[in-house]
């Protein structure tokens, strides 16, 4: 017997989670596809379901010294329209699915779904964003990069809920490209985000993340640190490519093939580095 | 469980699983068949309904997510002045062929124009990019949206 | 651009469709209907030794070949596709039987429990085993080719294409007394009727087919509904309960018929002055496990394979190949877009090979009135291709762009295609196979009613056919009644296919209306049954593929402009311009809808819509993986029609439905070639394929 829990508030939700192992239903745009059976039939779940989309307590965007806090049930459309949200996130979100879906879907859901093609993971990982995990026993924070550790694998304990996302604004210039199957409503074949901060031709910050090319979003701090402090004139494109090439390990599936994904990922990285050398990253 | 919401400006209460798709609730439970299912996975937009004036894919919406919200399907929208203007624009430009995408397309058009009363063609295309049509090649639909914008949808 | 259409009337079904009041099959309320869930083969090829059916609860049944009262044949054109696989299975997904019962979930559960014991055979997925072979010649190719000074050969391939009508396949069947009554999403009510009569071995009056609103078809509902109807009919005579079979999108994409993949090889034979002496063309199409309608698709592909060019000597060979995959069937164009794609690219590549301008080479061989067709018929109508080309070039600023995009470093390209479509059934099919009959009658109040079996699945023919009768009779619109087909009331005017609705049925409707007008007596009941009589110049021999293949041809030109991103190999369509000669367009707005819609589908086929079969099963099974163009993938489309009235059609109209599909893919591919500075030989030209071209040739 599957239970469907519709809590009135966060506290009640957490009490339920303390006793029941649940799917957490938010905007529904992933879970309702995954659990769909057939027209006219209820979605089929193999464990209890907790519905959190209507929790007003989780619908907010606010800013403080720690960062920008986005409640778990805040929808993409609200994020797109909020003056508090850094442009890079808006840029990424605008290319996700369709306007209809963005009226329904949430960023917390995108994280929890932990698809290698999850588009928000790319800027979240690059910009050190955190998830706040809340349970009846308290809360803890974790970098999104650590929280998602594989294909549909996240470090959520059964009694926990992603209650909030904390964005950490960075002083970076960005280069972003999503490459999908078509221009709208497309599932990502490969995506690239580079962020850089340059002062007097010296690289002060350098970050790269790739989506859809490995079991999770690719980011490597060791490589990044190697380039921090370098003069842009000493940035060697081939060196950067060689550093990242082994980390990009895409698969062939019904949407694309591994050769294409790898090649495009490297083309975009090359473009990013060339633009840095030419002083041209200004998104 | 009992779930209440406002459908086409009237309060309704249904006694169903909170997981039931809004699409199945309006079609099977409430008998309103103007909302269509073209894919069941949020790609085609034939199931578009308005939730608090925003277009939703009702095939991916668990009914509980619209509890106490205002839902508008084509059956309610066709009673409005805005519908008449949009429908006439679609008729004049040839925006409807087989008609399966049309109710969703018309609701999505309303939502676009409500948010942005004078969109450029490019903005109109982007705003309707979640509604697929296989008959028209879209040009006639874009022309219809522009015509409706020109006439003003009388919000 | 907001259009003012001067010659268009309000579409009769506009209001019901926009308001959501139109009733499609899935909207019909029938709470006591049982669900029918197919049980499908899990293997591609093998002997079916035993079917193990689980214990079925009360009210649930398993219906299979053993329950068939008549012939186990789905009446398509060939009689080889069984309604239920019996002794052998020939493709993964072939229907073994259906589970019927009152609860859908239970039916699905039971269907999953049915197991088959097989002896598996080695399946064939490649185009190697021909099951239909055709060949014909014009001139004296054997002799001429032997004396050629040089030759140029190339090979082209095209992929599967799924119709993606927005409404998936749907059928409802119930008993009205003894009569089996069918409401379905369909193109051809009489095809369905015939299929049921044949599988049940019952009399014609036991079956009635009524058309509800149909949400798109494009060929995909020409034959497949016959299979569904035959399956449900076997069940309904046994269990006597209303039945419904409504496919989810995934089931529809995975198991219903698609456009034939093709491989075309062309060789041009040239003399010492680089004149084309003739061409040899082999067109191969992948028909899947059963022939179905593949021989007719092959015919069309072969007849169209010279496209808009006249060559003196021609040797055409075609094969439809049997593979252990879902059978391929009708889709807008019916084989001809595949061979037209090949010829358009070939002529461009040949120009490069000969160091001449493609436009000059095309013009040199462009079809003129009076030319001999590849099947030794005659192009009789006035041909205005040059005008169409000039207009399209002017609209698109073609010549300037062509020169500009040739410059090094340009990532843009512009491509032009010319094309034709033969309207109506091939050859004398209209007179010998279809024999359309149209009934028109008038009551005492002078209200005229007429009947056709044409389905309006969006093309607007309910509006146009009615208008033909209204205008011919010169009476008010509301004095004419024209409803959707019902096989108990309507005589068959043939299938809604082959771009025949306006040119053939429209012509017939006009003729019937003229005859009614001639004998018109106010206040009297009058009725006319008008039979189709083909133009007497049409002589066709199907066995030798010789003679006039079609009563008339419609013509078109597409120009497509693209840009290419060398970082991601993505292509963007920047603009489309088209000109058409469809005779006289009766309703310009409806015609424009056909123009844009056909081109959009063709462009999807050209670069987006990838459907790969792997081990006999389609890899792209959902609308997120099989992607069709969205509103932002397509550009503004501009279309011009040039009037060229056709003497044998109603009000000078020719067919237009399929024509608009024919030229999009080659125009796109030619534009792409300019943008990437490499040759293209395959569609869909996905970014992955473009990368492969650039990597391999660099």
Contacts of C116 (CB under 8 A, 6+ apart): C41, C42, C43, C48, C49, C50, C51, C52, C89, C96
CA distance C626 to B133: 14
Q: How far is CA C648 from the centre of its chain?
A: 23
- Contact between A16 and A50 (Cβ < 8 Å): yes
**C129 pLDDT exceeds 70?**
yes
Do the domains C25-122+164-255 and C430-531 sit in the same CATH topology, yes or no?
yes
* CB contact at 8 A, C584 and C573: no
Please give the pLDDT value at position C194.
Answer: 97
Residues 41-70 of A with CB under 8 A from C: 41
What distance in Å separates the CA atoms of residue C618 and residue C160, rounded to the nearest whole number?
Answer: 10
Instruction: Indicate which CATH number applies to the domain containing B88.
Output: 1.10.150.120
Name the maximum alpha-carbon separation found in chain B: 45
The residues spanned by each domain of chain C are 25-122+164-255, 331-426+548-697, 430-531
Q: How far is C79 from chain B (nearest CA, A)?
A: 31
Tell me the per-residue pLDDT of C504-560, one tens digit each, with 9 for 90 and over: 999 999 999 999 999 999 999 999 999 999 888 778 998 999 999 998 899 999 999
A1 part of contact set with chain B, CB < 8 Å: no
Nearest beta carbon to residue A267 from set C567, C608, C631: C567
- CATH code for the domain defined by C430-531: 3.30.365.10
Query: Using 50, 70 and 90 to split pLDDT, how confident is the model at B155?
Result: low
Choose the weakest-confidence range: A190-199, B111-120, C31-40, C535-544: C535-544
CA of C630, closest CA in chain B: separation in Å?
6
In chain A, the largest separation of any two C-alpha atoms, in whole Å, equals 65
Class of C25-122+164-255 in CATH = alpha beta
Question: Who wins on pLDDT, A114 or A281?
Answer: A114
pLDDT higher than 60, residue A283? no
- Within this chain, do residues B28 and B54 fall inside the same structural domain, yes or no? yes
Q: How many domains does chain B have?
A: 2
Boundary of a domain, candidates B47, B73, B99? B73
Shortest CB distance from C568 goes to which of A40, A98, A177? Answer: A177
pLDDT at A184 > cutoff 70: yes
Asked if B57 and B102 sit in the same domain, the reply is: no
A100: nearest CB among B45, B62, B126: B45
Q: What is the pLDDT of residue C551?
A: 86
Q: State whether residue A179 sits within 8 Å of chain C by CB.
A: yes
Mean pLDDT of the region B107-121: 97
**8 Å CB contact of A184 and C691:** no
Q: What is the pLDDT of residues C136-151, one digit of tens each?
A: 999 999 999 999 999 9
Does the pLDDT of residue B154 top 70, yes or no? no
Looking at every residue in chain C, the average pLDDT score rounds to 97
Give the model's pLDDT for residue C535.
83
C636, closest residue in chain B (CA to CA): B139
Alpha carbons within 13 A on the beta-carbon side of A65: 0
Helices (H), C201-325: 224-239, 249-255, 294-303
**pLDDT tens, A128-141?**
999 999 999 999 99
The region, left, alpha or beta by phi > 0 then psi within -120 to 50, assigned to residue B145 is alpha
- Please choose, from the candidates C307, C339, C311, C275, the residue with its C-alpha nearest in 3D space to the C-alpha of residue C134: C339
Query: Given CB atoms, is B60 within the 8 Å cutoff of chain C?
Result: no
Helix (H) or strand (E) holding C480: strand C480-481
List, for residues C335-376, the tens digit of each pLDDT value: 999 999 999 999 999 999 999 999 999 999 999 999 999 999
C568:A259 CB<8 A: no
- CB neighbours of residue A20 within 10 Å: 15
Provide the pLDDT confidence category of residue C287 given band limits of 50, 70 and 90.
very high
| pLDDT score recorded for residue B58 | 98
Look up the ipTM and state it.
0.98
- Check residue C478 and report its DSSP letter: G
Query: Does the CB of A8 have a partner CB in chain C at under 8 Å?
Result: no
How many C-alpha atoms does C47 have within 13 Å on its Cβ side? 2
Domains belonging to chain A, first-starting first, are 4-167 (3.30.465.10), 173-277 (3.30.390.50)
Spatial contact of A3 and A49, defined as CB atoms under 8 Å apart: yes
> Quick one: average pLDDT of C222-240?
98
Residue ranges making up the domain that contains B31: 2-73
Q: How far apart are CA C266 and CA C313, in angstroms?
A: 13
Q: What tokens appear for C3 in the block?
A: 């259009």
| Cα–Cα distance, B51 to B61 (Å, whole number) | 10
Percent of chain C with pLDDT over 90: 94
Distance from C-alpha of A225 to C-alpha of A223, rounded to nearest angstrom: 5
Element (H, E) at C437: strand C437-442
User: Diameter of chain C by CA atoms?
Assistant: 80
pLDDT at residue A112 greater than cutoff 70: yes
How many whole angstroms separate alpha carbon C44 and alpha carbon C93? 8
Topology of domain C331-426+548-697 in CATH is: Aldehyde Oxidoreductase; domain 4 (3.30.365)
| The predicted structure's pLDDT at residue A282 | 61
Q: Spell out which residues of chain B touch residue C622, defining contact as CB-CB under 8 Å.
A: 39, 41, 43
**Mean pLDDT across the stretch A57-76?**
98
For chain A, give the mean pLDDT.
97
**Average pLDDT of C239-267?**
98
Report d(CA C12, CA A154) in Å as an integer. 55
Share of chain C above pLDDT 70, in %: 100
For residues B122 and B90, state if they share a domain.
yes
pLDDT at C232 over 80: yes
Kindly report, residue by residue over B26-60, the tens digit of the pLDDT.
999 999 999 999 999 999 999 999 999 999 999 99
Q: What does the pLDDT read at residue A73?
A: 98
User: Residue B82: pLDDT above 90?
Assistant: yes
* Exposure letters B131-149 (e unless 16+ CB within 10 A, then b): bbbbbbbbbbbbbbbbbbb
For residue C298, which of C81, C545, C495 has the smallest C-alpha distance? C545
**CATH code, domain carrying B64:** 3.10.20.30
Q: d(Cα C454, Cα C457) in Å, to the nearest integer?
A: 9
* B66 and B93 assigned to the same domain: no
């Amino acid at each position: 017997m599957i239970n469907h829990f519709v809590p009135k508030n966060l506290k009640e939700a957490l009490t339920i989670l303390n006793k029941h192992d649940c799917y957490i239903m938010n905007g529904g745009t992933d879970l309702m596809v995954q659990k769909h059976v057939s027209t006219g039939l209820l979605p089929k779940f193999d464990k209890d379901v907790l519905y959190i989309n209507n929790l007003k307590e989780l619908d907010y965007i606010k800013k403080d010294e720690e960062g920008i806090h986005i409640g778990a049930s805040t929808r993409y459309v609200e994020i797109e329209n909020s003056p508090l949200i850094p442009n890079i996130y808006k840029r990424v979100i605008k290319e996700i699915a369709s306007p209809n879906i963005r009226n329904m879907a949430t960023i917390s859901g995108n994280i929890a779904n932990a698809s290698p093609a999850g588009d928000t993971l790319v800027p979240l990982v690059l910009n050190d964003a955190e998830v706040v995990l809340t349970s009846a026993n308290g809360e803890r924070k974790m970098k999104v990069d650590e929280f998602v550790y594989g294909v549909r694998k996240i470090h959520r304990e059964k009694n926990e809920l992603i209650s909030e996302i904390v964005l950490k604004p960075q002083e970076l210039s960005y280069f972003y490209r999503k490459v999908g199957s078509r221009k709208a409503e497309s599932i990502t074949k490969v995506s690239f985000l580079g962020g850089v901060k340059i002062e007097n031709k010296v690289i002060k910050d350098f970050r790269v993340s790739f989506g859809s090319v490995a079991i999770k979003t690719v980011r490597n701090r060791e490589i990044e640190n190697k380039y921090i402090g370098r003069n842009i004139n000493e940035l060697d494109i081939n060196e950067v490519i060689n550093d990242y090439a082994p980390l990009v390990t895409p698969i062939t599936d019904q949407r694309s093939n591994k050769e294409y994904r790898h090649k495009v990922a490297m083309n975009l990285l090359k473009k990013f580095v060339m633009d840095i050398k030419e002083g041209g990253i200004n998104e | 469980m009992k779930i209440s919401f406002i459908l086409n400006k009237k309060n309704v209460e249904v006694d169903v699983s909170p997981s039931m798709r809004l699409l199945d609730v309006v079609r099977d439970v409430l008998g309103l068949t103007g909302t269509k299912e073209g894919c069941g996975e949020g790609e085609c937009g034939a199931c578009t309904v308005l939730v608090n004036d925003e277009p939703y894919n009702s095939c991916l919406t668990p009914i509980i997510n619209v509890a106490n919200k205002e839902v508008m399907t084509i059956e309610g929208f066709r009673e409005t002045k805005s519908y008449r203007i949009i429908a006439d624009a679609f008729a004049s430009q040839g925006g409807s062929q087989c008609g399966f995408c049309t109710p969703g397309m018309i609701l999505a058009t309303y939502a676009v124009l409500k948010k942005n009363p004078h969109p450029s063609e490019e903005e109109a295309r982007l705003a309707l990019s979640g509604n697929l049509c296989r008959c028209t090649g879209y040009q006639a639909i874009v022309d219809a949206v522009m015509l409706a914008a020109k006439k003003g949808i009388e919000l | 651009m907001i259009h003012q259409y001067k010659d268009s009337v309000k579409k009769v079904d506009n209001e019901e469709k926009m308001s959501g009041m139109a009733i499609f099959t899935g909207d019909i309320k029938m709470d006591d209907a049982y669900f029918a869930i197919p049980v499908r083969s899990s293997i591609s090829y093998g002997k079916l030794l035993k079917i193990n059916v689980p214990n079925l609860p009360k009210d649930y049944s398993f219906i299979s070949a053993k329950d068939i009262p008549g012939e186990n044949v789905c009446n398509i054109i060939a009689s080889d596709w069984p309604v239920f696989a019996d002794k052998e299975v020939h493709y993964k997904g072939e229907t073994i039987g259906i589970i019927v019962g009152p609860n859908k979930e239970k039916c699905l559960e039971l269907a999953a429990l049915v197991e088959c014991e097989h002896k598996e055979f080695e399946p064939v997925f490649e185009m190697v085993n021909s099951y239909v072979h055709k060949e014909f010649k014009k001139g004296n190719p054997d002799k001429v080719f032997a004396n050629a000074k040089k030759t140029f050969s190339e090979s082209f391939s095209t992929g599967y294409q799924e119709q993606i009508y927005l409404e998936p396949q749907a059928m409802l069947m119930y008993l009205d007394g003894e009569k089996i009554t069918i409401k379905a999403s369909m193109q051809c009510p009489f095809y369905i009727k015939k299929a049921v009569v044949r599988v049940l071995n019952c009399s014609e009056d036991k079956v009635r087919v009524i058309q509800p609103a149909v949400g798109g078809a494009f060929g995909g509902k020409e034959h497949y509904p016959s299979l569904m109807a035959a399956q449900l009919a076997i069940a309904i005579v046994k269990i006597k309960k209303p039945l419904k079979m409504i496919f989810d999108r995934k089931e529809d994409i995975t198991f219903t018929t698609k456009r034939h993949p093709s491989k075309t090889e062309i060789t041009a034979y040239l003399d010492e002055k680089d004149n084309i002496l003739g061409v040899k063309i082999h067109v191969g199409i992948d028909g899947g496990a059963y022939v179905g309608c593949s021989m007719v698709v092959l015919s069309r592909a072969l007849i169209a394979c010279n496209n808009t060019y006249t060559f003196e000597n021609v040797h055409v060979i075609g094969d439809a190949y049997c593979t252990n995959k879902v059978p391929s069937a009708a889709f807008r164009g019916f084989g001809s877009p595949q061979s037209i794609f090949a010829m358009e690219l070939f002529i461009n590549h040949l120009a490069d090979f000969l160091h001449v301008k493609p436009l000059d080479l095309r013009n040199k061989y462009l079809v003129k009135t009076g030319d001999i067709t590849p099947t030794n018929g005659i192009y009789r109508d006035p041909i205005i291709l040059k005008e169409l080309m000039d207009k399209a070039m002017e609209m698109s600023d073609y010549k300037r762009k062509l020169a500009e995009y040739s410059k090094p470093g340009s990532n843009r390209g512009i491509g032009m295609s010319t094309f034709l479509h033969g309207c109506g059934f091939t050859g004398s099919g209209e007179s010998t196979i279809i024999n359309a009959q149209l009934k028109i009658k008038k009551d005492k109040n002078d209200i005229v009613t007429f009947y056709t079996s044409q389905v309006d699945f969006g093309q607007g023919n309910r509006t146009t056919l009615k208008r033909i009768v209204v205008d011919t009779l010169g009476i008010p619109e509301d004095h004419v009644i024209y409803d959707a087909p019902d096989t108990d009331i309507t005589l068959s005017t043939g299938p809604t296919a082959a771009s025949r609705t306006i040119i053939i049925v429209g012509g017939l409707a006009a003729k019937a209306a003229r005859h009614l007008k001639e004998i018109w007596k106010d206040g009297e009941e009058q009725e006319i049954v008008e039979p189709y009589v083909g133009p007497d110049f049409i002589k066709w021999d199907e066995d030798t593929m010789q003679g006039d293949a079609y009563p008339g041809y419609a013509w078109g030109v597409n120009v497509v402009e693209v840009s290419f991103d060398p970082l991601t190999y993505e292509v963007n369509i920047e603009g489309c311009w088209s000109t058409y000669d469809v005779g006289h367009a009766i309703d310009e707005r409806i015609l424009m809808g056909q123009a844009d819609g056909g081109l959009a589908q063709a462009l999807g086929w050209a670069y987006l819509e990838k459907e790969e079969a792997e081990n006999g099963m389609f890899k792209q099974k959902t609308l997120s993986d099989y992607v069709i163009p969205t509103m932002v993938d397509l550009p503004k489309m501009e279309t011009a029609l040039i009037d060229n009235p056709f003497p044998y059609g109603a009000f000078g109209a020719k067919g237009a439905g399929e024509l608009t599909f024919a030229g999009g893919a080659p125009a796109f591919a030619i534009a792409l070639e300019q943008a990437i500075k490499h040759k293209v030989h395959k569609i869909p030209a996905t970014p992955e394929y473009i990368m492969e071209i650039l990597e391999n040739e660099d």
